[in-house]
A and B are shown apart, each in its own frame.
Chain A
Amino acid sequence: MVTGCSPQSHYIEDIQYLQAMGFDYIDGEVQANGTTTIFMPVAESLPQSETINVSREDLEDLYSHMQAESSRYVDTSRSRVHLFHQDLAANEGIFGVIDTIQRNPMINQNLKIAMTRGPTKDILNEEYPFHLTVHEYLVELIELNQAEQLPIVDFQDFLYQYYAEGADPFLPLLEKAQNRVDVVGIALFKEDKYIEELSLDKTHVFRKLIDETEEGTINIDIDESRGFALHHLSSSPDWTIKQDADGIYVKVNVNIQGPLREARNINVSKPATIQQLEELAARDFEKQMEEIVHFFQENEIDPIGIGERIGQKVRNFDIKRWEKEEYPNLNVDINVNFTIENTGAVV
């Protein structure tokens, strides 16, 4: 057919799909790694992964140079995971890459992004258990952990927080260990630059401040011998923002409830004890949450999106001024209501 009269055809079997991408920062140069799946024609043999990588000084033409590495048509539209190395995130910022992705309409925008402690190349080059290809493994890892313990962030959430003036983005933080990848917490960003990280334990608590959750576990030690644990915690934060003559007043009510699953040296048959435990847990949570909020304020970041929440309540709100002048000293009133629903199958 005459050129231009019909679209260029790419048969599915002739395409090299870059399904997971990683971006490293080596000696001031950005290196992009793309993992592709090599499909096997026979049903018994499993698909294998292969990585190709290119180094460029600019982020922008990384994608186009991937093609030079491959004999097949390289296609990025099926990429599902994008990983960023800590150094890159801290030095260059990651928006350059992200902008390339969102500008290309062929790329499915429903994708996962995460930050890694080590170079992404190591993660992408590894073979993982359960016969999963690299991108399948990473997608499952992130999805499952987001259901269980991480606050849900994907590509669109990152962009939302990036563009929002009153909120700062955060990403899951991954680290490679042997032949698996661990989720170690979340990485906190200011604009598109990495600032600090939050450990996994604190992430649990942080998540309860921003998301409604259905899953989650908490372990509270009263003293060395006594303690209790709860599973399937459901929680919902309720932010109240009021503006009066004195300024802006921010309050959050967090309702947490769940069944008791472990009680070490505690007799939980009495309602009074349960009440005490509830009280204890609530105080514990409040303390942790306050610590987290202070930590954010010290670093002048706002992953909770308090500024965003105020902007939605207060008319003609000057976020920029507020972020600089008022946010670091803002007093957030945190109030936790804790309910133990039952004590499991035994009293």
Chain B
Amino acid sequence: MLTTGDLMFKKHVYKKLNLKKGKTLEDLIQACQKSFDFVSYQATEKAPFHLHYIKSLVDEKQIDSHISSYTKNPELPTLIDLEQSIPIEGTKIIQKIEEIEQSLLSGHVIIQVTKHDNEVLAVPVQQKEQRSVDIPENEFTVIGPKEAFIESLDVNLNLIRKRLPVPELVIKEFIVGSISKSRVAVLHMDGITNTQLVQTLTERINEVDYDEIVDSSQITQLISDNPNSYFPQLLETERPERVASALVEGKVVFTMEGSPQAMIGPTNLLEFFSSPDDHYMMWPLSMFFRIIRLLAVLFSVLATSVYIAVTTYHHEVIPDVLLNTMVASRLEVPYPPIIEVILLELTVELLREAGARLPSRIGQTIGIVGGIVIGTAVVEASLASSVLLILIGLTALSSFTTPIYQMGNTIRILRFPFIIFAQWFGFFGMAICLAIHLLHLIKLTSLGYPYLSPLYPFRVRDFRDEILKLPIQKLENRPEVLRSQKKKRFISKYRKHPPKDIEE
């Protein structure tokens, strides 16, 4: 991993070099020498080779064991001889100054014959600092694979490729960011994915013009169809198997060196509520859980605004049996429901933010302190009604059922407009707010594909995986809306059952 020092160094070098047009290798070395970790020396007095590298980027052990012995050998006088003998793959002889610069700054050793030669041999000896593959934290599932992406692009690609060992999986590499030079890989399945879709994504990534990109979510913001929307338009995942199944469905994926997640597109609203373990369970269970999740989202967004609408304008809809409880809990609260709701909602948001910023153990404690201590105290002090406290607790709980973290955030935000509109016009206000949001969702696209599919455009066949989750044998078609090159995934064969006694 890069340290801040390295970053600052790189920026510095870049600036210097940019100033001089038509720079030479000598200029480059001169510019680099300002940093203490730039190493440049002649192999031996007798041998002609000069070695240049940046200490913090290379693995010096490799230089010692694989390079030094050959550069010191006087029997290898030319770069070509050297290239053939050094037992490291990926060496290359280059002349262009830009290429040399990039090699040097990405952890190559640059070997020059004489100090004034423009032709150099670049030997890749990058030092790879990375953590080991870990358990997914944000998209944890009880059953199914437990591998998650890490910050290394190559490891991530390995995690994906080993799940799809076919040559049709095509990975293209791009460099994004004028200073950060981040490596971005775009993946798709040849012969399945709609070529236009691949083109759209590559074009957009090529168009990205930003100096420093450190996480793939930044690219997402830059290439989103509607950057002003608060609905995520690409699906962010840290699970390699989710990426693999998206690729096979005919979607495109991109992932970036240095960020432990991959982005899947095009996506749609309902996909954010499906969890990978829906596919690992028997279908009646997963269908049930998925419906529960969708209802939880509806509840989470609407519950508090309904509370406001009902307690402020429409007391007629409270059933007789509940009236007593509702009124009794509101009686001693000194301010109107809207204040009460906003106060408690903000408290919950506060707890969540605090919990997210703190190490996980303290975070849990904060949750308990906030939830139980503050909650009880607030009700006992009659600052909020107990009915509302229950509602707030439930809405917070149900917003956590969303499997994708980004969408969870969206749902947190989404309830506030509804609360405000409910205060303004009761149920009618909520209908206004709903109309505005629906219109927005209808117009929204993800990589040019409709965000509300399969609802609009209406594709009943896509319902079986997107909303209902039917048995796996029935999921023989790729989503229609993707217009992939191969529509069928497999030909479903039905097993023959032995005839029952009644049919004999």
Contacts and interface: CB of A to CB of B under 8 A. Distances in A.
A78 B312 contact: no
A11 B311 contact: yes
Contacts of A9: 312-313, 336
A12 B426 contact: no
Contacts of B326: 12
Contacts of B456: none
B336 A39 contact: no
B38 interface: no
A6 interface: yes
A68 interface: no
Contact of B313 (A7, A43, A75, A136): A7
A155 to B, nearest CB: 16
B312 A40 contact: no
B501 interface: no
Contacts of A17: 323
A108 interface: yes
A106 B317 CA distance: 11
B318 interface: yes
Given A17-B323, A39-B324, A43-B328, A12 B311 contact: yes
Contact of A41 (B315, B316, B331): B331
B315 A78 contact: yes
A108 B312 contact: no
Contact of B324 (A6, A42, A47, A106): A47
A63 to B, nearest CB: 16
Interface in B309-355: 310-313, 315-316, 318, 320, 323-324, 326-328, 330-333, 336-337
B424 interface: yes
B322 to A, nearest CB: 10
Nearest to A13: B330
A108 B424 CA distance: 24
Interface residues on B, range: 20 to 34
A147 B103 CA distance: 89
Given A17-B323, A78-B323, A106 B328 contact: no
B174 interface: no
Q: Would you call the interface of chain B mostly helix, strand, loop, or mixed?
A: helix
Contact of B424 (A6, A37, A43, A136): A6
Contacts of B337: 11
Contacts of A108: 316
Interface in A28-43: 37, 39-43
Contacts of B313: 7, 9-10
Interface string A204-222: 0000000000000000000
Given A7-B426, A39-B327, A41-B331, A75 B315 contact: yes
Interface in B104-121: none
B425 interface: yes
Q: Which of B311, B327, B331 has the most CB of A within 10 A?
A: B327
Nearest to B321: A136
Contacts of A77: 315-316
A47 B328 CA distance: 9
Contacts of B312: 9-11
A15 interface: yes
Contacts of B324: 37, 39, 47
Interface string B424-448: 1110000000000000000000000
A12 B425 contact: no
27 contacts: A7-B313, A7-B426, A9-B312, A9-B313, A10-B312, A11-B312, A11-B330, A11-B337, A12-B315, A12-B318, A12-B323, A12-B326, A13-B331, A15-B315, A17-B323, A39-B324, A39-B327, A39-B328, A39-B331, A40-B328, A40-B331, A41-B328, A41-B332, A47-B324, A77-B316, A80-B320, A108-B316
Interface of A: 6-7, 9-13, 15, 17, 37, 39-43, 47, 75, 77-78, 80, 106, 108, 136
7 closest cross-chain pairs (CB), A and B: A41-B331, A13-B330, A39-B327, A9-B312, A12-B315, A12-B311, A41-B332
Given A12-B327, A12-B330, A39-B331, 12 more contacts: A10-B313, A11-B337, A12-B311, A12-B318, A12-B323, A13-B333, A15-B315, A41-B331, A43-B328, A47-B324, A47-B328, A80-B320
